[in-house]
Amino acid sequence: MKKLPIFATLKDGLELGMVNCFSVIAATILYILTIWVPYINVGTTLAMAALPVEMAKGNVINPLCIFDSKYRKNMGEFFILMALMTGAIWAGFMFMLIPGIVIAIAWNFAFMLFVDKDLNSLECLRESNRMTYGNKGRIFWITILLSLIYCVILGALCILFTMDNSTLDIVAVVLIVIISLLLVPAAYGVDAAMYKALLDDPQAAAPAPTEPKAE
């Protein structure tokens, strides 16, 4: 089973995020502005989940792609997948938090598989669990490291607020907004890097072998 290299994956993800930086930010802004539109918002939600898939394939993101009608064609199956994931993850959180975190990581790629491989809801969950098997801890630490990088940078900028200088305050606010915006493509890029690495692993992506039936 292939093991995700934590720092290399984080590096690849940040590079993917920066390549599509402005496109992802624009798509996110369009998504936020139209989230209140019924029916359309289902397709845009799925389209946002598809962004890491397109990034993993090396495609250039078009912000307007989130309005493509193809993302609305499997609306019913999408709600089934969402209900299964939400119910199971919340049930896991009720059992002292950790099971919910493990399930959330195991099914991290379910929506990506849904839009990329045209699988049904149960197949998406099964395949995502198979892809993440043996790498859940690494996926967890990659996510933690990305959050830590953001928090360290944000903390350093917040120190500027403690200085009695109005110019520095303005600069700090601007930089905080910019860094917060950059976190979005960075997070999508890291998801894309992990998805690409694990999907390319034939042992992770192959169906589990079935034992022959006894005669």
Q: 109, 129 in Cβ contact below 8 A?
A: no
Single pTM value for the model: 0.83
Q: Where are the domains of the chain?
A: 6-205
Percentage, residues of the chain above pLDDT 90? 62
pLDDT of residue 72: 87
Q: What SS3 string covers 141-174?
A: HHHHHHHHHHHHHHHHHHHHHHCCCHHHHHHHHH
Query: What digits encode the pLDDT tens for the residues 94-132?
Result: 988 899 999 999 999 999 999 999 889 999 999 999 999
Percentage, residues of the chain above pLDDT 70? 87
Query: What digits encode the pLDDT tens for the residues 74-100?
Result: 888 999 999 999 999 999 999 888 999
The CA angle 183-33-38, to the nearest 5 degrees, is 125
Give the 3-state secondary structure of residue 200. Answer: coil
Token pair recorded at residue 187: 């997070």
Give the 3-state secondary structure of residue 68. Answer: coil
Torsions phi, psi of 208, nearest 5?
-65, 135
